[in-house]
A and B are shown apart, each in its own frame.
Chain A
Amino acid sequence: MRRAPFGRTSDVAGRGEPVVRDGPLGPLGWTGRTGRTDDTVELPRTLDDWEGPATSVAPVIELRDLTRSFAGDPPVQALRRADLVVHAGDYVSVIGPSGSGKSTLLHILGLLDRPTSGDYLLDGLPTRDLAERDRAALRGGRIGFVFQSFHLLPHRSVLDNVLLATLYSGVPRGERRDRARAALERVGMGHRLDFLPPVLSGGERQRVAVARAVIASPHVLLADEPTGNLDSVTTAGVLDLFDELHADGLTLVVITHDATVSARARRCVRITDGVLREVA
């Protein structure tokens, strides 16, 4: 059995529980097992507002009739009445030509942007009307980002770059360094802890970025064209890493226009002119 360094997934792997990737039963494997304090999404006061089914556990991501339009003449509808459900353990790729609304979808999913209408439920929690402070906390604790351009701080070491994600997400201070080392070890970058990002290759940089994204044990990993700046060999490496993370139980949403990337995903969603459609 593979050992994953970060809390949530290692729990899954460590217990050897079967991870159900699709279907309504999937999320059952998640709640109440990890012992993390911030797993208690269903606080009593939020339950009052919660309109979802009380019997089964909510999917990680749920878009309900979500529209995002930008003011202009005429107004641009980047997302039109989108519905999407991503359960825990899913591996979803979102494909579509440029300008189709992929980035807007990613921003909505990453709580970087708010929908114009409809709602986005993260772990069953409606997020549209949350205060910015709470949305920031959700970003830090539940979502991991991987960007096309890596977004590593050039003057900070690899280890520091990974530690950056622990600052805002409430990872216990004493565990930070160990978890960062373990995460880097996990992505195969354990030998580059003190390197500065500019001396790393593109593939290595993206691995560091992945380590940074998973260190806080997110519920979902959002990747925006993760291989857009990589050649085919390193692309395969990063995708293998994604497969491994997915096998450890991590939920992934990968936005791409590259067919080889989307081929790895179990589900594929196509977005055209702001309309989402599941690809069989």
Chain B
Amino acid sequence: MAVRTRAGTLLRRAPRPRAVVPRGAPLDRFGLRDLLSEAAHGIGSRPARLLLTIVGTVLGIGSLVVTVGLAQTAAGQVARQFDAVAATQVVVEPATTGNDDSRRAVGRIPWDVEDRLTRLAGVESVGAVSTVDIGTATVSAVPVNDPSAPALTPPPVLATTPGLLDAVKGTIATGRYFDAGHDARADRVVVLGTRAAQRLGVLRVDRQPSIFIGERPYTVIGIVGDVGRRSDVLDAVLMPVGTARADFALPGLEQAQVTIAVGAGPVVGEQAPIALDPTTPEAVDVQVPPPPSTVRGDVQADINAIFLALGAVALLVGGLGIANVTLLSVRERVGEIGLRRALGATTRDVARQFLVESVVIGLLGGLVGAALGVMVVVGVSLAKEWTPILDNGAVIGSALLGGVIGLAAGTYPAVKAARIEPIAALRGSAS
């Protein structure tokens, strides 16, 4: 019974005062549409002032977008410039075991490495190379055995597959590089690195000069002028792998050089071992370039720190500008506030109106700033012949940030407007 009594007491308690005066359908009272329309009129009545008000926000948001945009664009650009060397180089070697003093290979690179790797997506050129052990044989341009001459260290002899020249981004100074035919027939032809050619005194190949390795003559068919990597090639005598196997019993390939497309590193790194040795892929070591994202991250960090600080300062100034102008506008529109209160606006209606006005001003600043920022990024990219890269989310987020700043800046003026007494307000101004 005690429960029932208590419930009865609760029911008889005086109702809350708020529902005393009916207000008509809620949808017909100062709603979102009215709020936005009134705020738009409030803002639009002074276009020149609006422009001045949003300048700070425009600058702040603009610099933010430019910062992010240029950082992203530059990072993309950096990744592209890496292609010349590191970002596109993959080196494949047999895995080794043992300590530093005595290492020995646990796997091998198959002779048809070029065929196997060229099929992989992202691989642009493949070449394999191996040192040829010529024993005590000499390398010379003339077959003269001069016992009185001091014994010179012969230039190193390297066996390569035909694709190596492309794989190390080499160029031919004169003549040509050997091809798959020389390789298959084990023709006795060599190509000289430019320094090896100077040392041997072979300067031209149009008269089909020969060099002698031990007692066997080899026809020089070309001279390599320059290479992008593995510059030891320039000091060496290069012969087809087939020739090296026939004449010097080459036991295997030491290294494969692969040129890949930018960004293909992870894929090639994963697939190359399987392509080369499907049963024991772990017997092949593949060194791929670092993923571009880490490079980009490093670059971004540098640029962002400075510009973001600038943007933050500009945003702060912009927010203060909005707060200032909204406060001024509240002071100027005291009469209007009093009138609205007399017409039935609650303090909350008044506060909301000024808050929405400053949010809209902030949003406008954000939109204009973001648009200008995008234009600057595109303009700079155009001038530098870069590809502009901009994150959509960052741009939209920046524009919305303007609204948030407007919200923060408008809070104090809105509260101030709500606190204005209608009597004083109505007595004040006339229009």
Contact = CB atoms under 8 A, between A and B. Distances in A.
Interface of A: 37-38, 40, 43, 45-46, 48, 103, 107, 110, 112-113, 125, 129-134, 136-141, 145, 147-156, 160, 164-165, 167-173, 197-198, 212, 216, 229
B18 interface: yes
A138 B21 contact: yes
Contacts of A149: 429-431
Contact of A113 (B23, B27, B423): B423
Contact of A171 (B28, B45, B342): B28
Nearest to A174: B28
9 smallest CB-CB distances across A and B, nearest first, come from A140-B344, A170-B24, A149-B430, A168-B344, A155-B45, A134-B21, A136-B346, A137-B21, A38-B22
Given A131-B17, A167-B34, A197 B426 contact: no
B20 interface: yes
Contacts of B335: 151
Given A140-B344, A167-B38, 15 more contacts: A130-B17, A133-B348, A136-B344, A136-B346, A138-B344, A140-B23, A140-B345, A147-B426, A150-B431, A151-B335, A151-B338, A153-B336, A169-B343, A171-B24, A197-B431
B30 interface: yes
A212 B344 CA distance: 12
A73 B397 CA distance: 58
B431 A152 contact: yes
Interface in B14-39: 14-15, 17-25, 27-30, 34, 38
A139 to B, nearest CB: 5
A127 B157 CA distance: 109
B345 to A, nearest CB: 5
Nearest to A153: B336
Contact of B347 (A110, A132, A139, A151): A132
Nearest to B31: A173
12 contacts: A112-B342, A125-B20, A137-B22, A137-B346, A148-B430, A149-B429, A155-B46, A156-B41, A164-B343, A169-B29, A170-B24, A170-B25
Contacts of B17: 129-131, 134
B171 to A, nearest CB: 75
A139 B28 contact: no
B28 A112 contact: no
B318 interface: no
A46 B429 CA distance: 38
Contacts of A37: 22, 24-25
B10 to A, nearest CB: 15
A92 to B, nearest CB: 19
Given A155-B45, A170-B29, A112 B23 contact: no
Give the residue among B38, B340, B426 with the most A Cβ atoms within 10 A: B426
Given A151-B426, A153-B336, A155-B41, A145 B20 contact: no
Contacts, number: 135
Interface in B33-75: 34, 38, 41, 45-46
A243 B23 CA distance: 29
Given A149-B431, A151-B431, A155-B45, A168 B423 contact: no
Nearest to B421: A112
A37 B344 CA distance: 17
B21 A130 contact: yes
B45 to A, nearest CB: 4
B345 A136 contact: yes
Contacts of B25: 37, 170, 172
A168 B343 CA distance: 7
Given A168-B349, A173-B27, A45 B20 contact: yes
Given A136-B346, A140-B345, A167 B23 contact: no
A136 B422 CA distance: 11
Nearest to B41: A156
A135 to B, nearest CB: 8
A145 B341 CA distance: 11
B342 A139 contact: yes
Nearest to A142: B21
Contacts of A164: 339-340, 343
Contacts of A170: 23-25, 28-29
Nearest to B347: A132
A168 B345 CA distance: 6
Nearest to A213: B343
Interface in B103-159: none
B17 to A, nearest CB: 5
Contact of A154 (B24, B348, B349, B431): B431
